[in-house]
Amino acid sequence: MAKERVTVIDIARAAGVSKSTVSLVLQGSSLVNEATRAKVNAVIRELGYVYNRSAANLRQAKSKIIGIVVNDLTNSFFAELAVGVDAVVQSAGFVQFLANTGEKSERQREVIASMREHGVSGLIISPARGTEAADLAPLVESGIPVVLVVRDIARAGVSSLISDNRAGALAAVRHLIARGHRRIAFLGGFADTAVFEARMRGYRDALREAGLNAGDDLVIGSAPSRAGGVTAIEQAMMLEDRPTAALCFNDAVAFGVCDGLRARRLEPGADFAVIGFDDVIEAKTAVPALTTVSVDPQGMGERAAELLLKQIKAGRAEPEAIVGPVRLVIRQSCGSAVERRAKEVS
Amino acid sequence: MAKERVTVIDIARAAGVSKSTVSLVLQGSSLVNEATRAKVNAVIRELGYVYNRSAANLRQAKSKIIGIVVNDLTNSFFAELAVGVDAVVQSAGFVQFLANTGEKSERQREVIASMREHGVSGLIISPARGTEAADLAPLVESGIPVVLVVRDIARAGVSSLISDNRAGALAAVRHLIARGHRRIAFLGGFADTAVFEARMRGYRDALREAGLNAGDDLVIGSAPSRAGGVTAIEQAMMLEDRPTAALCFNDAVAFGVCDGLRARRLEPGADFAVIGFDDVIEAKTAVPALTTVSVDPQGMGERAAELLLKQIKAGRAEPEAIVGPVRLVIRQSCGSAVERRAKEVS
DNA sequence: CTTAATAATTGGAACGTTCCAATATCGTCA
DNA sequence: TGACGATATTGGAACGTTCCAATTATTAAG
């Protein structure tokens, strides 16, 4: 069954032209006569020719592959990010090489090495936790365009596209304060990441400007997952002076917090205000619909891809550090019932 | 900055050996002397050599890439599937080429073509809706090993790995019946898929063996997503004779159903029994924890990858059609409160 | 010592494409 | 008619690797 490869030479012979002409047709050159082009295309279809990109890559040193490496594909935020990247990369005639590191930097190293071997012409990376500038140095020196998304790395010397985490957290907490909350927790996330640090900064700044103290007891880290959210809220409810609202590290945590609340017969939105971060697809349809800081993962993927494509086209570009806007979308999980209750209490 | 490529010849020159020897070292051949190997490896590191897979692929017609194409990466079921595939494929020294079709068969065609051009040595496909045997024919004829997952395609002539959808649905509905439910709905999913058809068959068979009628009014299709679940349950609650329980097409729909129930002040698990399908990660931690038919997406990905790898190694293998076991995992969403209430009613 | 066997190493051809410079074909204008 | 430009086409070299057959160095056996 596995017949031997049909090559450009076979096509040439069958169509009665030279291999150069066939090559020209393949790249859609305008140099070739309409009639010849039609003839060649017909033969290509007839013989079931499959273009060999390895050969082409070898000759011209550019590959039409872009790589994207994410730290946790299981988190829908990153899945959506990948979908966004795919969309624009695809329509630019590139193909996407996606790898998941599962937060393991060893795995990340392998994956990046493999992508380089395959000659990707650019890389979009959402780095695993603990990745340092030194880890990326060889890659960066090789001159391959790289765009960091979601998590920036200091002095890595590459472009980055992150969202304005501080501003988002600030807006969210201000909103809670305006609704009368005084005991506001920050739940979930690992403290050793830059994203955590930035969101935390916004949280603290909002509290400070309202003259509230940001006691560390109200900051409770956990895995940035649904399960992590459950444990974080449980811990929060053990405090003698309980919070009445929480800003969560991300939407997954927020969903977990809602779950944990319900497990204690508390209704999120009514008995306790919760705000998430990211605005993943489910945030809108969940019940109660999640109030969250919208980061638009898909849009972020698209913009990262556009940025990368621009750099690829430009050859060598100055690294840009873009921080994307973010907006608080108010839905039900910090609902008006809370507002009333919280005001009575305070 | 973008210095020119270091090739195997540069290494050879610097190490004082021939390019053939360097090549041997690269592939870990036992033919080469220990001292030489060490020397060459040192030079490789020193010059920052990057292996060129395009060139290698060109020479030997096998590529160490396996492709995986999924129909909806946004659905965590498929994201987990991909993670499972990645794990085993990786440890076998292959790398994964992942593409998302978003259920568009046009896109699927492009993506598969692109993968063939890159010389993938095998393909795992979760086909887009409406894919037919004819769509895969050219691929299959080329002799590239293909494993279909999740959705099978009749007479495609390739291996497939699907789960026992009928048995899962059967067990789930039997369980509901044993708990006293008589009006059981089937919610969500598109009716034109084989998966829907199989789950539906299990649903009907269970009802029939209990002597219950499976009126079509209780079967309500929708998009297989969280949002789809919300609309499906809304529609179900409009019926004059309302159901007291539902088997959902998948977990996403089940979550949506829970959301929809809460929106009507009904507590899933207590006031209405809901069972999902797939057992995605969140099913366990959700509140109430979702009773669901476990398909183990990650495990499924692993097994699909193993099957594919086996076929790649064997050259040409007989297509196998594996249907994986499935088990009902009982958690809270069809809780005991329902049992009591339902019994009183009946 | 010679010879045979073994262990290491090697040059060159091949893989399927693209690119370059060169050539062929044609109509047009002086 | 000849020269010219424009339009199409072409052969061959090159890309970086692997593989084969051939060679050289080393050891063991006689």
Do B271 and B215 share a structural domain?
A: yes
Distance from the A318 Cα atom to the nearest Cα atom in chain B, whole angstroms = 12
Could you give the CA distance from residue B53 to residue B72 in angstroms, rounded to a whole number? Answer: 30
Instruction: Note whether B38 and B75 are same-domain residues.
Output: no
Where are any strands of DSSP class E within A88-132? 95-100, 122-125
Examine residue B57 and state whether it is found in any structural domain, yes or no: no
pLDDT band at B336 (very low <50, low <70, confident <90, very high): low
Q: Is A58 part of any domain?
A: no
Separation CA A283–CA B54 (nearest Å): 43
Taking alpha carbons only, the member of A271, A281, A286, A243 closest to residue A341 is A271
Q: Which CATH number characterizes residue A198's domain?
A: 3.40.50.2300
d(CA B182, CA B190): 24
Whether residue B176 sits in one domain with residue B111: no
Which residue of chain B has the CA closest to A317?
B1
Residue B323 corresponds to which tokens in the numbers above?
């249907």
The pLDDT-based confidence of A343 (bands split at 50, 70, 90) is: very low
In a domain, residue A3? The reply is no
Give the CA A119 to C1' D25 distance in Å.
39
**Mean pLDDT confidence for A101-123:** 93
Residues of A in contact with B222 (CB under 8 A): none
**Residues A278/A77, Cβ–Cβ less than 8 Å:** yes
DSSP 3-state of B161: strand
B39 and B94 co-located in one domain: no
**Structure token digits, residue A221:** 């880290």
Q: A253-311: per-residue pLDDT in tens?
A: 999 999 999 889 899 999 999 999 999 888 988 878 999 999 999 999 999 999 999 99
Distance from the first to the final alpha carbon of chain A? 78
Near strand C (CB < 7 A), which residues? Answer: A 5, 7-9, 19-20, 23, 26-27, 49, 51-52, 55-56, 58-60; B 17-21, 24, 31-33, 35-36, 55, 58-59
The whole domain housing B142 covers 65-164+297-325
Query: A83 and B97 in contact by Cβ < 8 A?
Result: no
Residues A158 and A175 in one domain: no
Q: What is the pLDDT of residue B273?
A: 96
Q: Which of B295, B57, B325 is nearest to A119 (CA)?
A: B57
Closest CA to A226 of A178, A176, A280: A280
Residue B293 has what pLDDT?
Answer: 97
The 10 Å CB-count burial string (b at 16+, else e) for A227-245 is bbbbbbbbbbeeeeeebbb
Nearby residues of A52 by Cβ (< 8 Å), 6 or more positions away:
A5, A7, B58, B117, B119
pLDDT in tens, B202-250: 999 999 999 998 778 999 999 999 999 999 999 999 999 999 999 999 9
Distances (CA, A) of A209 to A173, B55, B310: 11, 61, 63
Closest by CA position to B112, among listed B156, B67, B79, B157? B67
In a domain, A278, yes or no: yes
Verify whether the Cβ–Cβ distance A3 to B143 is below 8 Å.
Answer: yes
Quote the mean pLDDT of chain B: 91
Q: At what angle do helices B133-141 and B105-117 cross, to 10 degrees?
A: 0
Q: Which nucleotides of C are covered by protein (CB under 7 A)?
A: 7-12, 14-21
Please indicate, yes or no, whether residues B232 and B314 belong to a single structural domain of this protein.
no
- B158 with B218, same domain: the answer is no
Which of A182-186, B283-287, B339-343 holds the top average pLDDT? A182-186
Residue A57 lies in a domain: no
Same domain, A28 and A84: no
Task: Identify the band that residue B185 occupies on the pLDDT scale cut at 50, 70 and 90.
Answer: very high
Q: Is the peptide bond before A288 cis (omega within 30 degrees of 0)?
A: yes
Q: Which of A124, A96, A53, A20 is nearest to B119 (CA)?
A: A53
Helix A76-91 to helix B76-91 angle, to the nearest 10 degrees?
A: 80
One domain, residues A74 and A187: no
* Residues A94-109 pLDDT 10s: 988 899 999 999 999 9
DSSP labels for B219-286?
Answer: EE-B-SSHHHHHHHHHHHHTSSS--SEEEESSHHHHHHHHHHHHHTT--BTTTBEEEEEE--THHHHS
Residues A276 and A226 in one domain: yes
Helix (H), strand (E) at residue A329: strand A327-329
A3 CA to D13 C1' in angstroms comes to 29
At residue B183, does pLDDT exceed 50?
yes
Domain count, chain A: 3
Residues B244, A82: Cα–Cα separation, whole Å? 39
User: Is position A1 within any domain?
Assistant: no
Q: Give the orientation angle of helix A76-91 with respect to helix A297-314, to 10 degrees.
A: 40
CATH code of the domain in which B24 resides: 1.10.260.40
CA of A45 to C1' of C28 (A): 39
**Is B288 in the same domain as B307?**
no
What are B151-164's pLDDT values in tens digits? 999 899 999 999 99
Residue B335 has pLDDT above 80, yes or no: no
A60 inside domain: no
- Reported confidence tier of residue A344, pLDDT bands at 50, 70, 90: very low
**Which of A50, A118, A288 is nearest residue B117 as measured by Cβ atoms?**
A50
Which amino acid makes up residue B205? D
Nearest to A220 by CA among A241, A244, A259, A190: A190
Torsion over CA of B337, B340, B343 and B344, rounded to 10 degrees?
-110
In B, which residues are within 8 Å of A286 by CB distance?
A: 226, 255, 259
Residue B134, CB-side half-sphere exposure with 13 Å CA sphere: 1
Nearest nucleotide to B24, CA against C1' atoms: D18
Q: Write the secondary structure of B42-84 as one string of H (helix), E (strand) and C (coil).
A: HHHHHHCCCCCHHHHHHHCCCCCEEEEEECCCCCHHHHHHHHH
Residue A337's nearest CA partner among A245, A210, A256, A242 is A245
User: Do A341 and A202 sit in the same domain of this protein?
Assistant: yes
